[in-house]
């Protein structure tokens, strides 16, 4: 039987405010345990939560970017469950009236087509603390620094049909929150986390199958592998005559499998109710318009503009707008050298390769946009060839100075003096009488041999177009 996969993703993004959602404690990552947990975060009696304006602004920004409805009125609710890293015994979240509803995100599929993925809702909530089970005799250590860190949970419609689509959606959303600068997107530190609801159904069937919820998918690679494992597992269960049970499964990257998390918590009943400590959140039109005015250019718009303005192929525009930093870098290079396609080739090619090789972030690259533009300008004005430029770039990357000083120091300036080129050509012709004879005899292919010899004699510094032109003339005269 042919099966169809149905996937919906729940993505938790930590909002990058400096203070927590309901308290004035800091949110910085990596502090010593409990140094950033104040009485509100600790769930001390008598404390009251006060909502952070920065959190609401970021949620509205996301809502606008997802072309969603931003609720004029949203309500915080208590989600009740017991776990030691949740000191109050409930998580403050949003349930019936989330701040963002009915949005969408367009993803690009491998065949180049676009697919619209529905975003059911995005709601605000507080993160829990961390439990450390290792290293204590019969005890668990609790660190509440993360408790109260603002999260936005973004819930997609079950519109995704493969692990690849799920990854494409997740990457797109990851790029979006970073463009908006509302989340640092650091997956290793847990700033951007994903749970996946996965089910299968016979192709053509309208009803959904029973789904499993996959947790602990903290990288794009794990999302893809966990979903693919889960699809195979469900097919095996059903084709083996069994039934898929609704449950939460944990992905184990070491064994590349998902495992049931069968606990007594299984049939959870969170008994949501409106939090009496918090009033309804009201967002008026002025607030929304103020935020709209602060929205940066978003990835899709930037990509379209790159195609239009710089006449780049769709593919190039997609790569160069994958992150806001990359797009800004590219545009700075273009401003400096006025050669959009050349700049695109270099940013995506040599430059990105060097970043990967050196394992540095764009912001720390030893060659900045101005320096790269300076190099490309020397290709443009034919001071050096593209081939020599790679050598110059390498030297620049290694800290040997800007393009002009490297070209000067290494004597790499292209030879454009016709007299000098002619002299070399004549020498090459004189040194290869046999080839000359064959060429004259009609073996045109040998032209390439002569070009090669001339380039070799000039160590690649001769202007290739000029060499072609002069060589043709000299050979004809010889």
Partner 1 sequence: MSVDTEHVQRIAELSRLAMDDDQAREFAGGLSDIFDFVEQLDGADIEGVEPMAHPMDAAQRLRPDAVTEPDRRDDYQAIAPAVEGGLYLVPRVIE
The b/e string for 274-305 (b: 16+ C-beta within 10 A; e otherwise) is: bbeebeebebeeebbeebeeeeeebbbebbeb
**In sequence order, what E strands does 371-410 have?**
none
What is the closest distance, in whole angstroms, from the C-beta atom of residue 299 to partner 1 in the complex? 25
What is the closest distance, in whole angstroms, from the C-beta atom of residue 294 to partner 1 in the complex? 14
What is the closest distance, in whole angstroms, from the C-beta atom of residue 38 to partner 1 in the complex? 4
What is the closest distance, in whole angstroms, from the C-beta atom of residue 320 to partner 1 in the complex? 32
The smaller minimum CB distance to partner 1, of residues 51 and 457, is found at 51
What is the closest distance, in whole angstroms, from the C-beta atom of residue 45 to partner 1 in the complex? 12
Helix (H, G, I), strand (E, B) or coil at 121: strand
Query: What's the Cα-to-Cα distance from 93 to each of 81, 88, 145, 187, rounded to whole Å?
Result: 12, 13, 18, 22
The smaller minimum CB distance to partner 1, of residues 32 and 364, is found at 32
What is the closest distance, in whole angstroms, from the C-beta atom of residue 61 to partner 1 in the complex? 13
What is the closest distance, in whole angstroms, from the C-beta atom of residue 33 to partner 1 in the complex? 4
CA pair distance 258, 255, nearest whole angstrom: 9
Eight-state DSSP code of residue 244 = P
CA pair distance 238, 201, nearest whole angstrom: 10
Which tokens sit at 228?
């693919």
The smaller minimum CB distance to partner 1, of residues 276 and 411, is found at 276
Backbone dihedral angles phi then psi of residue 126, each to the nearest 5 degrees: -100, 145
What is the closest distance, in whole angstroms, from the C-beta atom of residue 157 to partner 1 in the complex? 25
Contact assessment for residue 116 and residue 102, using Cβ atoms and an 8 Å cutoff: no
Name 169's Cβ contacts closer than 8 Å, sequence gap at least 6.
Answer: 9, 105, 107, 117, 156, 160
The smaller minimum CB distance to partner 1, of residues 51 and 307, is found at 51
Query: What's the Cα-to-Cα distance from 36 to each of 89, 142, 285, rounded to whole Å?
Result: 20, 13, 35
The smaller minimum CB distance to partner 1, of residues 73 and 456, is found at 73
CA pair distance 40, 278, nearest whole angstrom: 13
What is the closest distance, in whole angstroms, from the C-beta atom of residue 39 to partner 1 in the complex? 7
The smaller minimum CB distance to partner 1, of residues 80 and 468, is found at 80
The smaller minimum CB distance to partner 1, of residues 47 and 332, is found at 47
What is the closest distance, in whole angstroms, from the C-beta atom of residue 18 to partner 1 in the complex? 6
Full DSSP string of 164-203: HHHHHHHHHHHHHHHHHTS----TTTTSEEEEEEEEEEET
The smaller minimum CB distance to partner 1, of residues 139 and 206, is found at 139
Contact assessment for residue 64 and residue 298, using Cβ atoms and an 8 Å cutoff: no
CA pair distance 211, 183, nearest whole angstrom: 29
The smaller minimum CB distance to partner 1, of residues 25 and 61, is found at 25
The smaller minimum CB distance to partner 1, of residues 32 and 286, is found at 32
H helix or E strand, kind and range, residue 105: strand 100-108
What is the closest distance, in whole angstroms, from the C-beta atom of residue 126 to partner 1 in the complex? 15
What is the closest distance, in whole angstroms, from the C-beta atom of residue 133 to partner 1 in the complex? 6
Helix (H, G, I), strand (E, B) or coil at 454: helix
Interacting residues toward partner 1 by CB under 8 A:
17-19, 23-26, 32-39, 42, 44, 50-56, 73, 75, 80, 82-84, 97, 131-133, 136, 138-144, 269, 271, 274, 276, 278-282
The smaller minimum CB distance to partner 1, of residues 287 and 449, is found at 287
Q: What is the CA radius of gyration of the chain?
A: 30
Directed axis angle between helix 433-440 and helix 446-457, to 10°?
A: 150
The smaller minimum CB distance to partner 1, of residues 274 and 318, is found at 274
Name 473's Cβ contacts closer than 8 Å, sequence gap at least 6.
Answer: none
Sign of CA dihedral 356, 360, 365, 369: positive
Find, among 145, 114, 115, 141, the residue nearest to 128 by Cα.
Answer: 145
H helix or E strand, kind and range, residue 341: helix 340-346
């Amino acid at each position: 039987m042919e099966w169809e996969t149905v996937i919906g993703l729940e993505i938790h993004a930590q909002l990058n405010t400096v203070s927590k959602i309901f308290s004035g404690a800091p949110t910085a990552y990596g502090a010593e345990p409990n140094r950033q947990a104040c009485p509100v975060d600790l769930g001390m009696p008598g404390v009251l939560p006060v909502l952070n304006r920065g959190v609401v602004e970021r949620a509205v920004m996301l809502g606008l970017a997802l072309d969603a409805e931003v609720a004029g009125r949203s309500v915080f609710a208590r989600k009740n469950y017991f776990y030691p890293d949740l000191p109050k015994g409930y998580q403050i979240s949003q349930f019936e009236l989330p701040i963002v509803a009915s949005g969408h995100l367009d993803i690009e599929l491998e065949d180049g087509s676009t697919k619209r993925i529905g975003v059911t809702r995005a709601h605000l909530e507080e993160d829990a603390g961390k439990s450390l089970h290792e290293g204590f005799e019969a005890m668990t250590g609790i660190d509440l620094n993360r408790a109260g860190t603002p999260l936005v949970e973004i819930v997609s419609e079950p519109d995704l049909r493969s692990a690849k689509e799920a990854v494409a959606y997740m990457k797109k959303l990851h790029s979006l929150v970073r463009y908006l600068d509302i989340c640092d997107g650091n997956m290793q530190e847990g700033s951007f986390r994903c749970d996946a609801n996965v089910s299968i159904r016979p192709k053509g069937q309208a009803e959904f199958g029973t789904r499993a919820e996959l947790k602990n998918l903290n990288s794009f690679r794990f999302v893809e592998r966990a979903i693919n494992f889960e699809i195979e597992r469900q097919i095996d269960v059903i084709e083996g005559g069994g039934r898929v049970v609704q449950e939460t499964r944990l992905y184990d990257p070491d064994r590349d499998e998902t495992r049931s998390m069968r606990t007594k918590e299984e049939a959870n009943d969170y008994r949501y109710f409106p939090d009496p400590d918090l009033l309804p959140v009201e967002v008026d039109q002025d607030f929304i318009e103020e935020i709209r005015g602060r929205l940066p250019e978003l990835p899709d718009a930037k990509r379209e503009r790159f195609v239009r303005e710089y006449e780049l192929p769709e593919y190039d525009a997609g790569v160069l707008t994958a992150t806001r930093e990359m797009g800004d870098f590219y545009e700075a290079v273009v401003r400096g050298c006025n050669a959009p396609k050349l700049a695109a080739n270099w940013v995506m090619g040599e430059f990105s390769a060097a970043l990967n090789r050196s394992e540095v972030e764009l912001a720390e690259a030893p060659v900045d946009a101005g320096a790269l533009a300076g190099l490309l300008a020397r290709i443009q004005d034919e001071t050096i060839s593209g081939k020599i430029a790679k050598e110059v770039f390498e030297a620049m990357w290694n800290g040997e100075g800007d393009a002009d000083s490297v070209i000067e120091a290494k004597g790499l300036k292209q030879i454009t003096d016709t007299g000098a080129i002619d002299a070399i050509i004549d020498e090459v012709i004189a040194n290869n009488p046999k080839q000359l004879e064959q060429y004259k005899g009609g073996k045109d292919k040998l032209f390439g041999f002569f070009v090669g010899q001339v380039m070799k004699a000039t160590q690649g510094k001769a202007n290739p177009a000029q060499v072609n032109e002069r060589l043709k003339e000299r050979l004809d005269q010889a």
